[in-house]
Amino acid sequence: MPDPQIVTRAAAPYVAIRVQVPMDQLGEVVPPLNQEVFGWLAQRGVAPGAPPFWKYNVIDMARGLEIEAGVTVPQPLEGDGRVVAGVLPAGRYVTLHHTGAPDTLMGANGDLQDWAAKQDLTFDVTPSPEGDRWGCRLEIYLTDPREEPDLSKWETLLAFRLTG
């Protein structure tokens, strides 16, 4: 595993579809939403600004997750109810470049959190009745599955915002 890095990310406008999903349905429910967002942008003649991402807003592994499947856009847009618009916050992030199938991401997420704990870094996360609410926790999907069918070669950038 390559070492995580601490980087400063600028604020970035995005559009996404937000869903509540149980952990065991994550792989079925969320991936098609990215394609729906791309279709929504195409209807408006807007090109995505970067690869698609999943933004984990709330995590409760037992009860479920609140996730946004989205993509950054060059300029702020307005959502339409199904598609929401927002801004990924600027700040310091711990990032990890991961290569491997989607089912290996949980381990990579754990490795990133373990590394951060050893460095005495604190993530922008707050406990809530719904679960852990993250200020910004991203999985950015760098590989286009249409171009690389071998899941073991897929590249994902994990980016978790730090406090302060």
pLDDT over threshold 70, residue 1: no
Those residues with Cβ within 8 angstroms of residue 115's Cβ, 6 or more apart along the chain or in another chain: 3, 4, 94, 96
pLDDT tens-digit map of 24-54: 998 899 999 999 999 999 999 999 989 999 9
Q: What is the pTM of this model?
A: 0.94
Q: What is the CATH number of domain 5-161?
A: 3.20.80.10
Estimate the share of the chain in helix, then strand, then coil, as percent rounded to the nearest 5.
25, 40, 35
Where do the structural domains in the chain lie, given as residue ranges? Answer: 5-161
Does the structure show a pLDDT above 90 at 61? no
**3-class DSSP state of 105:** helix
